[in-house]
Structure 1
Amino acid sequence: MFEIVDGAGNVILSRTIINSLLVVILLSIFAFYVNYRVKKADPNEKPKGFLNVIETLVEAIDNLVRTTMGEKFKNFTPYIGTLALYLAVANLFGLLGFTPPTSDYSIPFTLAIMTFVLTQYYGIKGNGLGGYFKGFFEPIWFLFPINIIGELANPVSLSFRLFGNILSGVIIMGLLYSALNSALGILSYIVTPVVTSVFHAYFDVFAGLIQTFIFMMLTMIFVSMAADE
């Protein structure tokens, strides 16, 4: 929605960066508020209302991590929880009239690179440096180039899956708004919100949350498989 440019017309901050920063700021405010509520809560009383929802969310993510990755990865929960919140809010940003940051390939690719680095780190940690490199020559030594290509393809496929689904939704919604506004004229102020709400429910809410879950699951699977090989 916004871009910051200099006097020569050069873009200093693109809307992708600005929208991504807005997501981070919103999540930071949310985190401080949750921390404030938790500190004020009585530990001897059962959580109610807002805190009960937060506790349920934390337990759900923790159970998902333990079930998918195993008990030894229980400390991975904060990262997966942060990843889930960022992607969910970023993918749903279109509902507020902003362009979702994940519709720009730089954001999904950056997140995929983070997953790739974690995968390599836990692969070396779990198997040792020798076992890590040995895995590229299995099951047969001449498959080494294919194994390398397969490893490098993971962040590309992971990022393109998220990027493609979110960008396609942004394009379709943009075309739909343009078509309705052109065809209906002044009536578009009444009809357009009704018609587009159904498509927003699919492209922003359903597809956005599904892609968040898929990215989370693939991150956990790639890391846990690398550590167990």
Structure 2
Amino acid sequence: MDFSIHVAKVVRIGSFELWITESMINSWIICGVLILIALIVRNAIKNPQKVPEGVQNVVEFLVDSLDNFAETTMGKHGRKFGSFYGSMIIYILLCNLSGLFLGPNIGAPVAGEPKVLIDFMRPPTADFAVTFALAMITFTMVQGFAIKEKGTFTWLKGLTEPMWPLTPLNVIGELANPISLSFRLFGNILGGTIIMGLYYNLPWFALIGIPVALHAYFDIFAGVLQAFIFVMLSMTFVASAMD
């Protein structure tokens, strides 16, 4: 069995190499699906009705729920973050759930075949590069909005509280947030991917019926839960930085 991240193509620009991985390709596919759905929905509610019905009713309910969730979690600042974190949770959720349709990569390269095999069978969030990039968005927002709301001097002063000898610990604590965020999401999704890969490598008679329950837990339950936790913690970090 092979659980490594495969490289689809290496683009060389002078001495610089850009590796196009399967995680990037899967992410682009999911982004493409989301953009297509958004365009279809936009076309369906091009002329919104005063009394919503059909697609407009569903969209208004979804947007209102995400805005209320952001406001409940982040307080007075929340509503303006609703669209951003709504997009993030939908993206992460689809990445996590993609294991239902894509599954783990099973089987090592066969002799005589190309060494680089493209496997569209791995959730993007099972790649630490993807989850770390998402966590760095949160880290940048935390520091950026803290400076915007408090000012640079007050932000720097906050790193020295409650007493200046604790400044290194405060800095380490800030740097630890994106690491813990990214590892939590990555570890849970990769763990499910590996377990499903090991299970599917069992003899055929051991696979009857049971994969449904395993997919329900590792892909649906864990996928939804981890998307919610990641976004919830991100919102909490940003809100705390702005207080």
TM-score, with length taken from structure 2: 0.83
What residue number does 1:204 align with? 219
In the alignment, the residues of structure 1 paired with residue 83 and residue 208 of structure 2 have an alpha-carbon distance, to the nearest angstrom, of 37
Match for 2:71 among 61, 66, 88? 66
In the alignment, the residues of structure 2 paired with residue 124 and residue 16 of structure 1 have an alpha-carbon distance, to the nearest angstrom, of 33
Amino acid paired to 1:59 = D
Is the CA contact (8 Å cut-off) linking 1:102 and 1:108 kept in structure 2? yes
| 2:159 match: secondary structure | helix
What residue number does 2:113 align with? none
What residue number does 1:16 align with? 23
In the alignment, the residues of structure 2 paired with residue 103 and residue 119 of structure 1 have an alpha-carbon distance, to the nearest angstrom, of 24
In the alignment, the residues of structure 2 paired with residue 217 and residue 4 of structure 1 have an alpha-carbon distance, to the nearest angstrom, of 33
Task: Give yes or no for the alignment of 1:51 onto 2:56.
Answer: yes
Is the CA contact (8 Å cut-off) linking 2:67 and 2:78 kept in structure 1? no
Amino acid paired to 1:21 = W
Deviates more, 1:101-110 or 1:122-131: 122-131
Q: Give the 5 Å matches for 1:99-178.
A: 99-178=122-201
Is the CA contact (8 Å cut-off) linking 2:72 and 2:78 kept in structure 1? no
Aligned-pair identity (%): 42
In the alignment, the residues of structure 2 paired with residue 83 and residue 193 of structure 1 have an alpha-carbon distance, to the nearest angstrom, of 36
CA distance 1:193–1:90, change in 2 (3 Å): farther
Question: Once the 2 structures are TM-superposed, how far is the Cα of residue 142 of structure 1 from its aligned partner?
Answer: 0.2
What residue number does 2:93 align with? 88
| 2:207 match: secondary structure | helix
Which runs of 5 or more residues in structure 1 are unaligned?
A: none
| 1:13 match: secondary structure | strand
Is the CA contact (8 Å cut-off) linking 1:112 and 1:156 kept in structure 2? yes
Question: Once the 2 structures are TM-superposed, how far is the Cα of residue 137 of structure 1 from its aligned partner?
Answer: 0.6
In the alignment, the residues of structure 2 paired with residue 149 and residue 88 of structure 1 have an alpha-carbon distance, to the nearest angstrom, of 29
Q: How many residues align?
A: 215
Which ranges of 4 or more aligned residues in structure 1 deviate by more than 6 Å?
none
In the alignment, the residues of structure 2 paired with residue 114 and residue 193 of structure 1 have an alpha-carbon distance, to the nearest angstrom, of 42
CA distance 1:169–1:132, change in 2 (3 Å): same
Match for 2:46 among 29, 39, 46? 39
